[in-house]
């Protein structure tokens, strides 16, 4: 018997052991739909790839061309169609249309060309699509909730399924979208885009997700003047009524879909952290802008410290840019230092300095948010010292320099060379997006430090060549992108599969460790500090494993019989990840069919049951 056959048999035995799991992707897919109804259902539709037997059993004869194609052939044709589009926005629109017709083909095309298409289905092109939402609008997707009709929130959410139908909800209020600001109801597209990433990167089932926009009005005058704008034509509502609206949504979502994980996305600066801190002690929720950026940045720092052979507990870190992202990174690193050194978060915070456009945050800086106050240094201690960025580098001698300032070229040659005087392998992470707002470019950082800087950026950059090898040999250094998409899908996947009732700090720290463990630079210091999106599904499995094990330690896991051995846990995770492949369809009569087989998931809910 050949080794390959042994391997296949072993895989089949493992799969059969796990096929009882509710989210198992093993075996045929039950379906109660036939004819044109089946062809118009994007989750079940295979187009020209329906087999001879499926065409017979599902009454498809005469509805399709005669030649039966493979998924690979369909992907080839779809890719040619994609490439023929005149610009990236047209490509984005093409992909949206494909998703509405055939989800397997959409995700398989995206999976096969993920590195090429990522910027089209997400930032920056998705930002352009959001700006043009009301002009490109063809058909609605997701839930549009109205702040002026709070009594209908629960009923409107209830249209989307029963209690067990929804695993993952992404919600936005559209105020701070992808660096382009207030986009009103067009924010629904960021909820949809995040869920696409959850499926392609994390294997969350696409028929078990729910995109939501909270329409609170908009302060975008251009939208308010646009006759085609589809959202509420009023100034954005704030204050008590806004908080009541968010509370109404969260309460309704939890009552209707008690197993769902809620992902807050692109809320305004004043609300993002405040809402997260209000709800995370009570429900399984996550904010990618606050927590995801911190997680992936910590992973880059951990990988860098592995190369520089330093301990996390010993580092000094300067963050240039004290907004939501900067403070979120500081919080995550502070908590990791505290855990590593077994000290209090307050004590760990003394190793972190935050700088804004006026200089170091001190006790006399105004105004300071509650989140910033934790890092404000004593004014008296710094009264006679220079507290601009260069002065701080000279005084603090940091191992790590983070940029979230959106101030381009602020990491000057003088600043970087000063940092390198005191640290052999400085970790420098200019994270501001888009590229034109980066604090420095990798080529300059590496040239100014003779190739010693350990660099990760907020946007993709080409590799950099220089004479930094042994005896001045030219080498090429690949630059990592601090892309949240290598971390938030795994956090969500682990939380969903384990049915964690909260997302704790230890779970987030475990996620960072999971990403750092897969950094290519751990084996080759000319390779990127972080894994790229090309291997993101493997990264998500590792992150989910780390998150689930941490959740077990924290006592927040509600799912029964979750494996505790790493190898078994990885197999358990993979078995429940949705893959873009055509599973054989098995016909079942309507009276014997599940809601999923009837195509009712995300289609038919229970609004009449809502009081």
- From the list 74, 75, 95, the residue with the least C-alpha distance to 85 is 95
Q: What distance in Å separates the CA atoms of residue 459 and residue 442, rounded to the nearest whole number?
A: 11
In degrees and rounded to multiples of 5, residue 610 shows phi and psi of -85, 130
| DSSP-based three-state secondary structure for 526 | coil
- CA 562 to chain CA centroid, Å, is 24
Q: What distance in Å separates the CA atoms of residue 395 and residue 401, rounded to the nearest whole number?
A: 13
- From the list 363, 301, 367, the residue with the least C-alpha distance to 329 is 301
- CA 318 to chain CA centroid, Å, is 25
Residue 351 · residue 317 · CB < 8 Å: yes
Q: What distance in Å separates the CA atoms of residue 97 and residue 477, rounded to the nearest whole number?
A: 39
Q: Where are the alpha helices (DSSP H) in 528-565?
A: 536-554
- Alpha-carbon Rg of the chain, whole angstroms? 25
Cross-strand partners of 170: 211, 263
Per-residue exposure over 223-235, b if at least 16 CB sit within 10 Å of its own CB, e if not: bbeeeebbbbeee
Which single residue is written with the structure tokens 């294997």? Answer: 203
Catalytic residue among 43, 82, 107, 122: 122
Look up 194 and say whether it is catalytic: yes
Which pairing describes strands 475-477 and 464-466: parallel, antiparallel, or unpaired? Answer: antiparallel
For residue 454, what is the DSSP state?
E
Per-residue exposure over 38-70, b if at least 16 CB sit within 10 Å of its own CB, e if not: bbebbbbbbbbbbeeebbeebebeeeeeeeebe
Query: What are the DSSP E strand ranges found in 40-125?
Result: none
CA 505 vs CA 239, 324, 415, 456, 472: distances in Å: 29, 17, 33, 24, 44
Q: Which two tokens stand for residue 592?
A: 């014997």
Catalytic residue among 154, 194, 374, 377: 194
CA 375 vs CA 132, 292, 350, 384: distances in Å: 40, 20, 7, 19
Which single residue is written with the structure tokens 């899908």? Answer: 489
Look up 122 and say whether it is catalytic: yes
Query: Cis omega (within 30 of 0) on the bond before 471?
Result: no
Q: What distance in Å separates the CA atoms of residue 449 and residue 422, rounded to the nearest whole number?
A: 12
Q: What distance in Å separates the CA atoms of residue 351 and residue 594, rounded to the nearest whole number?
A: 55
Query: What are the DSSP E strand ranges found in 448-487?
Result: 454-457, 464-466, 475-477, 480-481
CA 221 vs CA 218, 229, 509: distances in Å: 8, 11, 41
Q: What distance in Å separates the CA atoms of residue 250 and residue 171, rounded to the nearest whole number?
A: 10
CA 65 vs CA 36, 47, 62, 78, 97: distances in Å: 14, 9, 8, 17, 21
User: What is 316-335 written as a DSSP string?
Assistant: -EEEE--SHHHHHHHHHHHH
CA angle 501, 141, 251 (to 5 degrees): 30
Report the catalytic residues: 122, 194
């Amino acid at each position: 018997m050949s080794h390959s056959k042994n391997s296949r048999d072993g895989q089949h035995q493992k799969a059969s052991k796990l096929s009882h799991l509710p989210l198992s992707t093993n075996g045929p897919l039950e379906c109660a739909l036939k004819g044109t109804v089946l062809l118009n259902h994007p989750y079940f539709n295979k187009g020209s790839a329906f087999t001879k037997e499926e065409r017979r059993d599902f009454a498809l004869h005469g509805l399709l061309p005669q030649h039966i194609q493979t998924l690979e052939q369909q992907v080839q044709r779809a890719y040619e169609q994609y490439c023929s589009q005149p610009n990236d926005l047209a490509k984005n629109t093409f992909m949206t249309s494909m998703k509405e017709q055939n989800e397997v083909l959409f995700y398989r095309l995206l999976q096969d060309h993920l590195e090429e298409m990522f910027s089209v289905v997400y930032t920056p092109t998705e930002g352009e699509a959001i700006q043009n939402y009301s002009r490109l609008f063809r058909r609605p997707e997701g839930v549009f909730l109205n702040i002026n009709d709070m009594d209908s929130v629960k009923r409107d959410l209830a249209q989307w399924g029963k209690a067990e139908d929804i695993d993952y909800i992404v919600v936005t209020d559209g105020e701070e979208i992808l660096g382009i600001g207030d986009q009103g109801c067009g924010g629904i597209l960021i909820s949809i885009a995040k869920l696409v990433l959850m499926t392609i990167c994390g294997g969350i089932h696409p028929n078990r997700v729910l995109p939501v926009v909270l329409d609170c009005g908009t302060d975008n005058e251009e939208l308010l003047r646009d006759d085609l704008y589809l959202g509420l034509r009023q100034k954005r509502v704030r204050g008590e009524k806004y908080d009541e609206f968010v509370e109404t949504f969260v309460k309704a979502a939890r009552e209707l879909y008690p197993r769902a994980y809620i992902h807050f996305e692109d809320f305004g600066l004043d609300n993002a952290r405040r809402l997260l801190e209000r709800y995370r002690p009570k429900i399984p929720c996550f904010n990618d802008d606050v927590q995801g950026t911190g997680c992936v940045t910590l992973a880059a720092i951990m990988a860098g410290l592995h190369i520089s052979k330093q301990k996390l507990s010993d580092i000094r870190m300067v963050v240039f840019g004290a907004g939501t992202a900067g403070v979120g990174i500081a919080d995550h690193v502070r908590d990791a230092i505290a855990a590593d050194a077994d000290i209090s978060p307050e004590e760990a915070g003394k190793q972190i300095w935050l700088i804004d456009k006026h200089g170091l945050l001190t006790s006399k800086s105004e105004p300071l948010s509650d989140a910033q106050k934790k890092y404000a240094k004593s004014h008296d201690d710094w009264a006679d010292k220079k507290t601009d960025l260069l002065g701080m580098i000279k005084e603090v001698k940091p191992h790590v320099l983070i940029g979230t300032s959106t101030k381009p070229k602020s990491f000057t040659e003088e600043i970087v060379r000063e940092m390198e005087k005191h640290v052999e392998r400085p970790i420098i992470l200019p994270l501001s997006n888009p590229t034109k707002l980066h604090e420095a470019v990798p080529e300059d950082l590496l040239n100014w430090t003779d190739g010693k800087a350990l660099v990760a950026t907020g946007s993709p950059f080409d590799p950099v060549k220089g004479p930094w090898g042994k005896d001045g040999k030219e080498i090429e250094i690949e630059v990592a992108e601090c892309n949240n998409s290598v971390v938030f899908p795994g956090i969500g996947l682990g939380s969903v599969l384990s049915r964690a009732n909260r997302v704790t700090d230890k779970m987030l720290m475990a996620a960072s460790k999971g990403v750092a463990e897969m950094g290519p630079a751990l084996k080759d210091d000319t390779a990127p500090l972080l894994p790229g999106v090309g291997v993101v599904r493997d990264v998500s499995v590792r992150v989910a494993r780390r998150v689930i094990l941490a959740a077990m330690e924290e006592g927040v896991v509600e799912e029964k019989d979750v494996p505790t051995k790493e190898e078994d846990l990885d197999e358990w995770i993979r078995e429940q990840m949705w893959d873009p492949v055509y599973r054989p369809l098995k016909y079942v009569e309507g009276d014997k069919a599940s809601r999923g087989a009837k195509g009712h998931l995300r289609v038919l809910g229970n609004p009449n049951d809502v009081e």
